[in-house]
Structure 1
Amino acid sequence: MKETKLWINGQWQDTTKVYDLTSPYSGGVIAKVAKGSVQDVERAIRGAHEAFQLFKKTTAYERAEILYRVVDILRGRKGELAEILALEAGKPLSAGLTEIDRTIATYQFAAESAKQAMGETVPMDAAPGAGDRIGWTKREPLGVISAITPFNFPFNLVAHKLGPAFAVGNTVVLKPATQTPLSSIVMAEIFKEAGLPDGALQIVTGSGSELSDTLVTHPLVKKVTFTGSGKVGLGIKEKVGLRKVTLELGSNAAVIVEPSTPIDKVISRCVSGAFNFAGQVCISLQRIYVHSSIVDEFTKAFVAETEKLVVGDPLDKNTDISAMINPGEVARIREWIDEAKNQGAVVATGGSFTERTLTPTVMTNVTADMKVICQETFAPIVSIVSYETLDDAIRLVNESELGLNAGIYTNILPDALHAADELQAGAVIINDIPTFRVDNMPYGGIKMSGYGREGIKWAIEEMTDVKFITMKKSF
């Protein structure tokens, strides 16, 4: 059985406490994981601060080359890394390989961006009395960044924090999700092999509730970047003070299906968006608003496609959907479904439970106040709702305190542009599901879905300070 350690100052460090890491699918113990303490976090932060004093002086070329070597190493280990995802996250192999491909792309974008972090000239002579001056800006790294990451994309969401941070010369203390530490631990080995200086990456595994205060409030931490629940994100926002912060929080992503939509061409895509990785995706398709003239046809086709999905072992290549992350999450969503049914909702298909799985579930006759609609389900469940006019659908989508991604299917350009203007979301996806994301686009929510943006270019802006410099041409 694998036994892990902390990665501090380029060395593996033992801890006095460990915890059992169990498989989401089988429940069996797959590793003994080091449980870091507050003192370990403090040591990691101090080490990252010391490493920053040298790392910030490296050239953009040197930092890009490190990231390019990471890309090469990842390409050679794709199968192994996908198996790690299957074991610790319950992610089917096909989905795991897709995540590794995206992770490779993310680090590649970061490597390319390392050479593109530019400032600009400022026309000083545009101001009266300043014609004998020149001015320019430059971007400078912040220092130590605390990165707190979730279980659902433990390679790629870590890459969205490490990649841009290292591209511009920051150092990082990483606290991965309790359920998915193995993916981060292997990245320590990969970055070491790629030539990242010791101390630039520190990894402390353990309890978020015990370690997060130090990660957020330590005076040497200059930025916190967090992906996770809204409740935890709000707590971080209250504690972070004047430090920079990026919060990627939850959503109940919706798509509008207009009557001009060719249903047969979008059903498979919508089913995929709703149920990939058991719906445990921040932009998983949770609400589908379908025009009343096509809702029966759409629902019938959607249910039929859903019933083709195979629930099983994530290591089986035929598996489409596997376990939810833990039995507690299964119990929670079971309560939500039962509550909705008691309020009049109908389960069109699915709704069958084991201790660790939920079959892909489609619900109809739902109302806006049901938890399965107004809160983030983070489970393999989707609701189909009928509407009469496009403005009705837009209103229904916007009647939420969440707003990460939203989508619309339509062949009528003015309607697409109207929806793009009126939908309240960080991104509007036209003629695709809101689950769409590529790793060089800006990504982040409004309302209670987050604060700030990821995507390499935008993350770099939030991981640097702008310094203005001016010089008088003559005395």
Structure 2
Amino acid sequence: MSDVLESPCFREEALRIGGEQVHTGRRFDVLNPYNGERVGSVAMASVEDVRRAMDIAQAYQPRLTRYERSAILNRAAALLRERTEAGSDLITAESGLSKKDSVYEIGRVADVLNFGANEALRDDGQVFSCDLTPHGKRRKVITTREPLLGVITAITPFNHPMNQVAHKVVPSVATNNRMVLKPSEKVPLSAYWFADLLYEAGLPPEMLQVVSGDPREIADELITNPHVDLITFTGGVAIGKYIAAKAGYKRLVLELGGNDPLIVMDDADLDKASDLAVQGSYKNSGQRCTAVKRMLVHQKVLADFTERVVAKTRAWTYGDPMDRRNEMGTVIDEAAAAHFQRVVDDAVVQGARLLVGNRRDGALYSPTVLDRVRPEMTVVREETFGPVSPIIGFKDIDEAIRLSNGTAFGLSSGICTNRFDDAARFARELKVGSVNLWEVPGYRIELTPFGGIKDSGLGYKEGVQEAIKSFTNCKTFSMPW
């Protein structure tokens, strides 16, 4: 590694176990995808390290009041907003995401913290009267939510280095749970930085421990450890199904891939629709499960829409992610960029037409548009987790719905039409978790339910409110009334 430059913001990280920073005998490097600089060096956990973290978590019984949990989360949000530049610099350095995207991500993380703080104050118990039928009694049933008996394992991906972590950690804190987090080995620095922020805000360290390392070595222990009650995972379908098969009798929240369409009907405002198309395709370098992966366009407006998308794609600036003039930085690494290039090349060989893009320089991959694409091509049949825009024509709404539902995924969708009858039919018939009218497929706020069906997940939702439900046990208490 002698010829690898070290970043000025280099960080040497240790595991966070039981309130201690644990340095192990093994380490791995985190490299900047854009310039190859060594951004950090991170301790590698062993199976024994994971077991120790689990034992500490299981032995600790949180006693924080609702007010105390809310105060910790609000304090962390305030600290984060004060340190926006430092946090976004770290995200950009380890992931290659543009500064525009990383600053936006910091804002989202702060929202998660504030929403979690609000929910910690809200008692969502219910009261049921029991004298509702002829054989009922004069009683009431009251419901309460309690933390899990065991530990939560959280495993997060690379594409939103801090926000994916926040969406698992914050509901855990809000509900007085204990979590052991394993962030992606590609972007672990943001997770450690976020954990330290929470400790500074007053979080007992036993409630959140962080381990990093080779998933081939430690993942099975994180999944099968007897202290684990729930596993929350965001990532690829194959790994999600492996977790489901391996976990046994444990609660699972699996947020997996997507193949999300933007559907453009013949009455759509094409300028607005093409804006949504490029934003949905290229924000976050296209590395979102909810990115626009397919553009399904009515044949009557296909040529006009395609022309607009190509023009706006050519104008989408990309390059050095620290340059605030660039809309897009790199993808996560050179291997990912090379994969996108191969998939597009294969589509062209099969008859697709490359209209713009498909240029690669290391981990830099240009925004790319293809038309004359067929549904069976890999570029649309499988999830292309990058800035690639395949355009497919359709003749009527029946075909649009059939094309949209014709994949193994069912995460989200965006609809561009001004006809309410068509919008209502899409809402009813698309087999996805979210349908957004006149928005990108991924639109939501951090509070609202989010998740998919089919290969996109088990149907359990994320979003602060829904995660709180998943992370708690519901207990009923009844009394004479």
Q: Does the alignment reach a TM-score above 0.5?
A: yes
Task: Name 1:305's counterpart in structure 2.
Answer: 312
Structure 1 match to 2:462: 454
Structure 2: 5+ residue stretches without partners: 1-9
How far apart are the structure 1 equivalents of 2:450 and 2:29? 34
1:5–1:12 Cα contact (<8 Å) kept = yes
SS at match of 1:177: coil
Q: Deviations over 1:295-332 (max 9, x none)?
A: 10110111000001122111111112221111211222
Residues 117/230 of structure 1: CA separation in 2 closer, same or farther (3 Å cut): farther
Task: Determine which of 261, 269, 273 is the counterpart of 2:276.
Answer: 269
- Answer yes or no: is the 8 Å Cα contact 1:362–1:382 preserved in 2: yes
Secondary structure of the corresponding residue to residue 222 of structure 1: strand
Structure 1 residues 132-180: Cα deviation after superposition (integer angstroms, max 9, x where no partner): 5432111111141110001111111111101111111101101000011
Aligned to 1:42: 51
Matches of 1:96 and 1:274, distance apart in 2 = 17
SS at match of 1:126: coil
Amino acid at match of 2:368: T
Amino acid paired to 1:458: E
Counterpart in 1 of 2:31?
Answer: 22
Equivalent of residue 82 in structure 1, options 84, 88, 91: 88
Q: Mapping of 1:272-421 within 5 angstroms?
A: 272-421=279-428
Aligned to 1:145: 152
- Could you tell me whether the CA contact under 8 Å between 2:50 and 2:222 is conserved in 1? yes
Match of 1:31 among 40, 43, 56: 40
Shift of 1:60: 0.9
- Cα offset, 1:353, TM superposition: 1.4
- 2:478 matches 1:470: yes
Per mean C-alpha deviation after superposition, the further-off stretch among 204-213 and 72-81 is 204-213
Q: Give the 3-state SS of the residue equivalent to 2:196 in structure 1.
A: helix
1:91 counterpart residue number? 97
Deviation for aligned residue 1:130: 5.5
CA contact (8 A) 1:117 1:168 kept: no
Name the CA distance, whole Å, in 2 between partners of 1:128 and 1:48: 48
The Cα of 1:343 is off from its aligned counterpart by 0.8
Q: Which runs of 5+ in 1 are unaligned?
A: none
CA separation of 1:230/1:219 partners in 2, compared to 1, >3 Å: closer, same or farther?
Answer: same
Corresponding residue to 1:67 among 73, 77, 81:
73
Alpha-carbon separation, structure 1, partners of 2:216 and 2:452? 24
- 1:102 matches 2:111: no
Letter in 2 for 1:150: P
User: With structure 2 as the length reference, what TM-score do the two structures score?
Assistant: 0.95
- What is the one-letter code of the residue matched to 1:272? Q
CA distance in 1, matches of 2:396, 2:133: 52
Report the AA paired with residue 251 of structure 1. G
Q: Deviations over 1:214-253 (max 9, x none)?
A: 1111111111000000000001111222211100100111
The answer as to 2:147 corresponding to 1:134 is no
Report the AA paired with residue 225 of structure 2: H
Output the amino acid matched with 1:470. Answer: S
Number of the residue aligned with 2:16? 7
RMSD between superposed Cα atoms in Å:
1.3
The Cα offsets for residues 5-37 of structure 1, whole Å up to 9 and x where unpaired, read as 000111111111001111111122221111111
Q: Is the 8 A contact 2:129 2:138 kept in 1?
A: no
- Distance apart, 1:355 and its partner CA: 2.3
Tell me if structure 1 keeps the 8 A contact 2:23–2:43.
yes
Are 2:117 and 2:174, in contact at CA under 8 Å, matched by a contact in 1?
yes
Structure 1 letter corresponding to 2:479 = M
Instruction: Name the amino acid aligned to 1:79.
Output: E
Offset, 1:124: 2.7
Partners of 2:435 and 2:332 in 1: how far apart?
Answer: 29
Q: Is 1:252 paired with 2:259?
A: yes
Query: Distance between the aligned counterparts of 1:422 and 1:400, measured in 2?
Result: 14
Task: State the partner residue of 2:130.
Answer: 124
SS in 2 for 1:135: strand
| 2:468 corresponds to 1:425 | no
Moved over 4 A (4+): 127-130
Q: Give, in angstroms, the shift of residue 358 of structure 1.
A: 1.4
Question: Where does residue 241 of structure 2 map in the other structure?
Answer: 234
Q: 1:187 aligns with which of 180, 183, 194?
A: 194
Residue 217 (structure 1) aligned with residue 224 (structure 2): yes
